[in-house]
Amino acid sequence: MLFRKTEDVLNLVIRRLPIILLQLSLVSLSVAEPLAKGIQDNSFFVEEAYNQEPGVVQHILNVPVFFTGGGKEITSSFTQEWPVFSQTHQFSYTLPHTFAEEESGLEDIRLNYRLQALMESEWDPAFAPRFSLVIPTGDADKGFGHARLGYEINLPFSKIVSNRWSVHFNAGGSVFPDVNDRDLVNYNLGGSAIYAVSSNFNLLLESVAFWEEDVDNERNVDRTLTALLSPGARYAFNLPNEAQLVVGLAVPIGLTSDSPDYGLFFYCSFEHPFVRTK
């Protein structure tokens, strides 16, 4: 009798084992983070809508090298992003420097505030509008600024749409009042699609466009349209103490007569905790 009951229990377990394993696998898949979440806030031309987490600072070095005709120009920049008490508020600054064949120098510095207005959810995208003060530190005579305080806004949206794919969209503009008695107004649009080969390795396709105005000493306004299509890749090294190093490379291609012919884009980001968080 005992043997028969034991045999019945074993047969029941064997019959139900595939169902149990299937249920466990579905639970593990629902809990696991998508591969697309392995690298975030590390795009090259298109701003992602993710503020820094509390207690984590990010250092970003961009080195784009553009080729036009027989000339070359390097427009490097360093950015540091700091959370302000929580992920809701973020302060950052950007220090740009141009190395051209004829002139080199510091460009206008940007002081940035970004609000995490929407956190990403199953249906909602992340949304983090940014407002920037453009400080006139560049030499306007060399073309590195407008010698006027400027105001800039950008509206970035980000959404993970599947386990491996994420998309991003930007729209923004800037105003420089009273430059040689003219108010200069600029606009920008951008979008990107990112494919996570793995949680540490991504392929990117970014596209951006800039409508910009400039004015000469005779108050003549020059309007240009710069548009780039930029395939690229990035790789993340997850280090001890919750630090992450991300390196990337892209090959931007000019799409308009005002754009550079092509370029190389080098990217390096390092983020790490600066305080202990519970």
| Run of H or E including 158 | strand 150-160
Which three-class secondary structure state does DSSP give residue 104?
Answer: strand
| Residue 29 confidence (pLDDT) | 40
Q: Is the pLDDT of residue 237 over 60?
A: yes
Taking residues 4-14, what's their average pLDDT? 53
Short-list 200, 196, 239, CA closest to 56: 239
Percent of the chain surpassing pLDDT 90: 80
Residue given tokens 């006139």 in the structure block: 136
| Run of H or E including 246 | strand 243-250
Phi, psi for residue 81 in degrees, rounded to 5: -115, 130
| Run of H or E including 55 | none
| Run of H or E including 37 | none
Distance of alpha carbon 52 from alpha carbon 86, whole angstroms: 8
Lowest mean pLDDT among 4-8, 45-49, 231-235, 262-266: 4-8
Check residue 51 and report its DSSP letter: P
Full DSSP string of 169-200 = EEEEEEEEEEETTEEEEEEEEEEEEEEESSSS
Short-list 246, 154, 143, 168, CA closest to 200: 246
Q: What is the pLDDT of residues 194-221, one digit of tens each?
A: 999 999 999 999 999 999 999 887 888 9
Residue type for position 274: F
Q: What is the pLDDT of residues 98-124, one digit of tens each?
A: 998 888 999 999 999 999 999 999 999
Q: What is the pLDDT of residues 124-155, one digit of tens each?
A: 999 999 999 999 999 988 889 999 999 999 99
Distance of alpha carbon 88 from alpha carbon 51, whole angstroms: 7
- At residue 9 the predicted structure's pLDDT band, cuts being 50, 70 and 90, is very low
Residue given tokens 């530190």 in the structure block: 137
Tokens of 87: 């992920």
